[in-house]
Amino acid sequence: MNTIYETIKEQATAMREQLRAVRRDLHTYAEAGWCEIRTSSLIAKRLTELGYQVLTGPDVCLAEARMGLPPEEQLEAEYQRALQQGAVQPYAERARGGFTGVIGILDCGEGPTIAMRFDIDALGVFEDKGMEHLPAYEGFCSVNDGVMHACGHDGHVSIGLGVAEILMNCREQLRGKVKLIFQPAEEGVRGAKSIVEHGHLDDVDYVIGNHMGDSAGGDYQIGLTYGSTLASTKMDIYFTGRAVHAGAIPEKGNNAMLSAATAVLNLQAIPRSSEGDTRINVGTLHAGSGRNVICDRAKMEVEVRGATTAVNQYMEDYARRIAQAAADMHGCGCEIKLMGATESLQSDPDMIRYCEKVCREKLGLRPTPPGQNAGASEDYAYMVNRVHSHGGKGLFFSTLAPCAGQFHTKEFDFQEDALCNGVMAFCALTYSLMCEEPV
């Protein structure tokens, strides 16, 4: 008779085709953050069919804690688009207006509560249509121009639904509660906080998340790291001045261009910190209305990052002060809109070792030795930190696959055979934590 781990492994391996199919369907109908109407409705429908208690709409994301939402009109247009692309009612209606998160709950009695996070949104990238790009060659390129799953979240959803199925199959052997969290708007670190603020992590003992990673020619299958992702804050800064004819009465204007340029240089010049790595970027700046008119408006997209949440806060506070002073300097107004934010993420070291052991010993997978990583940000950090705050433990691991292209570029793709490794890792960890030994 099989052990439960062998069962998990068999079932996961057996759903390889299904995992690929789900991923390709999502890849075809890629949806950007807060606009994942179709994706959300399909997840909710599937979880419901499997027998999960399903939360949708405002029950998942706290409305006022969502960040960086598109304008109302765009949300509505996306809803209509989604309906035409197969979004399923009544779930689509629930997701309308930027409520695209879904949570599936499976209660198996006494035992720990284990949450798993799967992010579901795509990026603002125009997908490569060339025949050397496999999704183009095999016909599952994004049909939504300028929106592409260039970060592998299509794979994450596919894994999540695979996990949902297997855990439901094994529910008799489980002890405790499973929460499968399908999170919208991870890109731009906009969505996780609204789920955390709703309280969904408050009773969680273990939270597990994963991300696709590039195996880069090696033969590792699961990636582990001690290193942390960077805390980050995304802000849009608006300067408003007064437009007048630049030749006739320049002294009557308030030149928002000068405020913006002063802000750019000083933002970049925020002193380095001895308390950890920092980043600052003014990614875009759009200012002015005509060559011979004093510029009366400027918008810049800014992000700061920090090795720790505290260092990131230092950067954010300093950046806000600079923006306000740069506006004051030229008699301009300044408005700062928070577009996204995340804390620094650090897996619990014991969870890393636990995962390493389960993967190797129970599943025969090859995990990497835990190393460092750098530069990226992930709002899953909010979930881990909330769980850590009440004494629980969090883990973030990578499902490694051979990849084409860089993440976030139009050429990105990954080999789908690896998806079943992610599925079995989640399931095995859940079983082990619930039934074998705590971390």
146 binds a copy of itself (CB under 8 A): no
Question: Hey, what are 430's tokens?
Answer: 């859940």
Neighbours of 189 (CB within 10 A): 28
- How many residues make contact with a copy of itself (CB under 8 A)? 70
Spatial contact of 193 and 382, defined as CB atoms under 8 Å apart: yes
The helix (H) or strand (E) run that includes residue 336 is strand 333-342
Shortest distance (Å) from residue 191 CB to a copy of itself: 16
Nearer to a copy of itself, 90 or 124 (CB): 124
Which residues in 315-374 contact a copy of itself (CB under 8 A)?
A: 321-322, 324-326, 328-331, 339, 374
If DSSP codes are grouped into helix, strand and coil, which group holds residue 270?
coil
102-122 per-residue burial string, b: 16 or more CB within 10 A, e: under 16: bbbbbebeebbbbbbbbbbbb
Nearer to a copy of itself, 100 or 232 (CB): 232
Which residues in 107-136 contact a copy of itself (CB under 8 A)?
A: 124
Spatial contact of 92 and 79, defined as CB atoms under 8 Å apart: yes
Which neighbouring-strand residues pair with 348? none
62 binds a copy of itself (CB under 8 A): no
Nearer to a copy of itself, 323 or 429 (CB): 323
Spatial contact of 15 and 165, defined as CB atoms under 8 Å apart: yes
Nearer to a copy of itself, 84 or 372 (CB): 372
**Distance between CA atoms of residues 421 and 185, nearest Å:** 25
414 binds a copy of itself (CB under 8 A): no
In the list 278, 312, 344, 398, the residue contacting a copy of itself (rule: CB under 8 A) is 278
Q: What residues contact 377, with CB distance under 8 A and at least 6 apart?
A: 189, 229, 230, 231, 232, 305, 342
Shortest distance (Å) from residue 189 CB to a copy of itself: 10
In the list 258, 341, 345, 351, the residue contacting a copy of itself (rule: CB under 8 A) is 258
Nearer to a copy of itself, 56 or 312 (CB): 312
Candidates 13-21, 95-103, 268-276, 354-362; binding stretch for a copy of itself (CB under 8 A): 268-276
In the list 108, 257, 433, 439, the residue contacting a copy of itself (rule: CB under 8 A) is 257
N-term to C-term CA, the chain = 27
* CA-CA-CA-CA torsion sign (406, 409, 415, 419): positive
Shortest distance (Å) from residue 97 CB to a copy of itself: 24
262 binds a copy of itself (CB under 8 A): yes
Shortest distance (Å) from residue 111 CB to a copy of itself: 38
In the list 305, 362, 386, 393, the residue contacting a copy of itself (rule: CB under 8 A) is 305
Before 90, cis peptide (omega within 30)? Answer: yes
Nearer to a copy of itself, 11 or 377 (CB): 377
288 binds a copy of itself (CB under 8 A): yes
**Distance between CA atoms of residues 252 and 243, nearest Å:** 8
Q: Are strands 393-401 and 206-214 parallel, antiparallel or unpaired?
A: parallel
Which positions lie near a copy of itself, rule CB under 8 A?
A: 124, 188, 230, 232, 234, 245-253, 255, 257-258, 260-262, 264-266, 268-269, 271-275, 277-295, 298, 301-303, 305, 314, 321-322, 324-326, 328-331, 339, 374-377, 408
